[in-house]
Amino acid sequence: MTPVLLALGVHATTAVGTDLLYAAATKSVGTAMHNAHDSVDWKIVRRLALGSVPGTILTLYGLSRIGAQSKEVTDTIKFVLGVALILTATSIFFRQHVVDYLTRKLGEPTDRRAAQLTVLSGLVLGILVSLSSVGAGAVGVTVLLLLYPRVKLVRIVGSDIAHAVPLTLVAGAGHWLLGDINWALLGSLLIGSIPGIILGSYLAPRVPEKGLRSALATVLLMVGANLLKVI
């Protein structure tokens, strides 16, 4: 969403802040659905939030000190967004290969080690998402699959979505305090998402998953590379 808003001429910090609150609203619905099917591991969510919320607050404080509308912040957001999109595309393309390789090399972590690395991962995601609004999805799922190999994929996905709610809500609220929310744009996005969700739910079972994931990853890779001036 953020690259689309940038392409429409929305200022970088406004695009990120508006997208964060949009994500908080839509992922709340997803969390409720996953929780109803008992596919959220709240222990994992708490561990991630212990790192991501402080990371988000520190990042937003840094933005406020530098100046959210400054050229330095705009350039930083575009750079971090490009990196985040490429990481997301890579995770979509090579997730299983990376998980299998690292699991063989490193083995299964102890619960204490997993807890420490989950908090650290949350910290990194908090910084990444606060600056770009991207990273809590495919990247987060890949990390959790490494740290919790015995947890079912559906619970990993549900936990990742549930964690995105406090993360995007705190980050979005921080951008609101910085004056980076376009409320009219946010309302339009939420209104448009309702028919989009209905249409997507109808099409999802009818579209080959492998082809859809490959197409999505390719688009993200191209956009991310463009933001980094690679192409």
Q: How confident is the model at residue 19 (pLDDT cuts 50, 70, 90)?
A: very high
pLDDT given for residue 230 in this prediction: 47
pLDDT for the residue numbered 46: 97
Q: Helices in 37-148 by DSSP H: which ranges?
A: 42-66, 71-106, 111-132, 138-147
Query: What was the pLDDT predicted at 150?
Result: 87
Compute the distance between CA of residue 149 and CA of residue 108 in angstroms, rounded to an integer. Answer: 7
Q: Give the span between the Cα atoms of 37 and 195, in whole angstroms.
A: 24
Q: Where do the structural domains in the chain lie, given as residue ranges?
A: 2-227
Tokens 């690395």 sit on residue: 117
For the chain, give the percent of residues with pLDDT over 90: 34
**pLDDT value at residue 68:** 67
pLDDT (mean) for 89-96: 82
In this prediction, residues 63-74 reach a mean pLDDT of 80
Residue pLDDT, tens place only, 116-172: 999 999 999 999 899 888 877 778 888 898 899 889 888 998 999 999 999 999 999
- For residue 201, pLDDT beyond 70: no
Q: Which two tokens stand for residue 164?
A: 């995105």
